[in-house]
Structure 1
Amino acid sequence: MLSPARRHVLRQSAVDASQRGGNPLRHATGYELMLLKLNEDKRKLKQVRSQERKAELKRQLLPDYAPWVAGVLAEGRGAQDAVLMTVMIWRLDAGDLSGALNIARYALRHKLATPESFTRPTPYLLAEDMAEAAMRAYTARQPVNGDHLLDTLELTAREDMPDQVRAKLHKITGYVLRELGENGLALEHLKRALQLHSRCGVIKDIERLERQLRQEAADRSP
């Protein structure tokens, strides 16, 4: 765990580095230090085979990057940042959807690319990994904030990605809204998922929701 003084230094390094105008961010001393730490932590993760244990290790490592992220998000000017983008991905893997979205809004506004080891563009990765992280939590009966999914849909609405990926996001959004009792809105998202990907597995869910909504309408009738 980083000391308060070290956290302050890293946060200020992020601010200074991200404001260097046309100079590449990688030349900042603070950034180089963070890259060294990132590479060290990646080596730790490579030694773990279990995806579940990797996620737990990321939860332990992520607080050390919080000062850097805070500095960039507060005062950054959009310089490309592999540390920031890796943290966004790790937050998704660790189930911190809110924290990932905080970075995603900045990254999409400044059109930041994903790290070199990732082939998916940022909007594509965000939509798919957000959907999969939410589905993992939903399947495990853990709470999922529907606003995070709706925000992701809005952030990526105009971005290009495979239809199947967007369908995943609509599917889990529909499931979460259904759990919240928003059956009409849930049905819209499930139908959109089916429209985008006919084999996404929501046909029975749509039929059940339609029956339920018809029954609810009948019960309200005088």
Structure 2
Amino acid sequence: MSNPCRRHFQRTTAALAAAEAVGPEQSMEGANAYELQMAQLLQDRLRLKQIQSVEGKCALKRQLLPAYEPYVQGVIEAGRGAQDEVLTTVMLWRIDAGDFAGALDLAAYVLEHGLLMPDRFERTSGCLIAEEVAEAALLALKAGGTFDLAMLHRTVELTHDHDMPDEARAKLYLATGRVTLVGLTPEQPGQPGQVSAAIELLKRAIELNTSCGGKKDLEGAERLLKKIAPVTGS
């Protein structure tokens, strides 16, 4: 798979196939490039099923993802929105592997063209993307770390116009609000308006779902704002 000529061929054939299938009412099924990737995907899913550890599954996905890169590049470059289970699966695997920038690049294509998730997923594409990124951020915070705020902002933007349960959107706003507040103190208040922005995000999360868990975060953010307001003018 590291052979440049082989990768170029895969990307080119994927682009040609994707350019011929137009719109979400059509599928990539039947295209040779797609069927080859689906065959590989089925084999890789069998390998993943043999691993019980979630951490182990994520590690294997990191190893497997490069093999799909040429195909994905070809589809993104020339695709016209046909249903594509390989693409949506790779998007999710990228989230699991921690490649959020790469996942959101695919999410932009998926959401723009209205691609559906495979039948085994009960959530819509927009809902799944919002929740998966939000849950990853919340888990990182729970473990004592942080998360790339730009990835959360991009997720909010990408999924803004897509229907989903209020609880799912609340989770995304909660995660974004919490990450916005990471490391902020009266002595280190962050950028002008940063605390106020976090407060609005948390308020929106609570408005959407009163049980989202953001009330204490909101109280803490409002106390912080009172302490820094005379200094920053926030």
Q: Bin the TM-score by the shorter chain.
A: over 0.9
TM superposition shift of 1:122: 0.6
Which residue matches 2:5? 5
Q: Which segment drifts farther, 133-142 or 54-63?
A: 133-142
Confirm whether residue 126 of structure 1 aligns to residue 138 of structure 2: no
Structure 2 unpaired stretches of 5+: 184-189
Confirm whether residue 203 of structure 1 aligns to residue 206 of structure 2: no
Confirm whether residue 191 of structure 1 aligns to residue 203 of structure 2: yes
Distance (Å, rounded) in 2 between the aligned partners of 1:220 and 1:33 = 58
Which residue matches 2:83? 80
Contact 2:146 2:182 in 1 (8 A): no
TM superposition shift of 1:220: 5.4
Distance (Å, rounded) in 2 between the aligned partners of 1:34 and 1:208 = 49
Which residue matches 1:20? 20
Task: Output aligned runs, 1:206-221, within 5 Å.
Answer: 206-219=218-231
- Percentage identity across paired residues of the two chains: 46
Distance (Å, rounded) in 2 between the aligned partners of 1:60 and 1:79 = 27
Contact 1:84 1:103 in 2 (8 A): yes
TM superposition shift of 1:219: 4.1
Distance (Å, rounded) in 1 between the aligned partners of 2:226 and 2:145 = 29
TM superposition shift of 1:140: 3.3
TM superposition shift of 1:138: 3.0
Q: Which segment drifts farther, 15-24 or 88-97?
A: 15-24
Task: Output aligned runs, 1:163-202, within 5 Å.
Answer: 163-179=166-182, 181=190, 182-202=194-214
Q: Which segment drifts farther, 17-26 or 36-45?
A: 17-26
Contact 1:13 1:31 in 2 (8 A): no
- 3-state DSSP of counterpart to 1:25: coil
Which residue matches 2:71? 68
Alpha-carbon distance change, 75 to 143 in structure 1, aligned in 2, over 3 angstroms: farther
TM-score normalized by the length of structure 1: 0.93
Q: Which segment drifts farther, 129-138 or 56-65?
A: 129-138
TM superposition shift of 1:218: 3.3
TM superposition shift of 1:143: 4.5
Q: Which segment drifts farther, 162-171 or 23-32?
A: 23-32
Query: Cα deviations across residues 63-91 of structure 1 (Å, max 9, x unaligned)?
Result: 11111111111111111111001000111
- 3-state DSSP of counterpart to 1:144: coil
Distance (Å, rounded) in 2 between the aligned partners of 1:21 and 1:50 = 38
Distance (Å, rounded) in 2 between the aligned partners of 1:88 and 1:134 = 17
Task: Output aligned runs, 1:12-161, within 5 Å.
Answer: 12-21=12-21, 24-161=27-164
TM-score normalized by the length of structure 2: 0.89
TM superposition shift of 1:57: 0.8
Which amino acid in 2 is paired with 1:129?
E
Structure 1 unpaired stretches of 5+: none
Alpha-carbon distance change, 141 to 11 in structure 1, aligned in 2, over 3 angstroms: farther
Which amino acid in 1 is paired with 2:33?
G
Distance (Å, rounded) in 2 between the aligned partners of 1:38 and 1:169 = 29
TM superposition shift of 1:141: 4.1
Query: Cα deviations across residues 94-145 of structure 1 (Å, max 9, x unaligned)?
Result: 1111111000111111111112221211111111111112222333344422
Distance (Å, rounded) in 1 between the aligned partners of 2:4 and 2:15 = 17
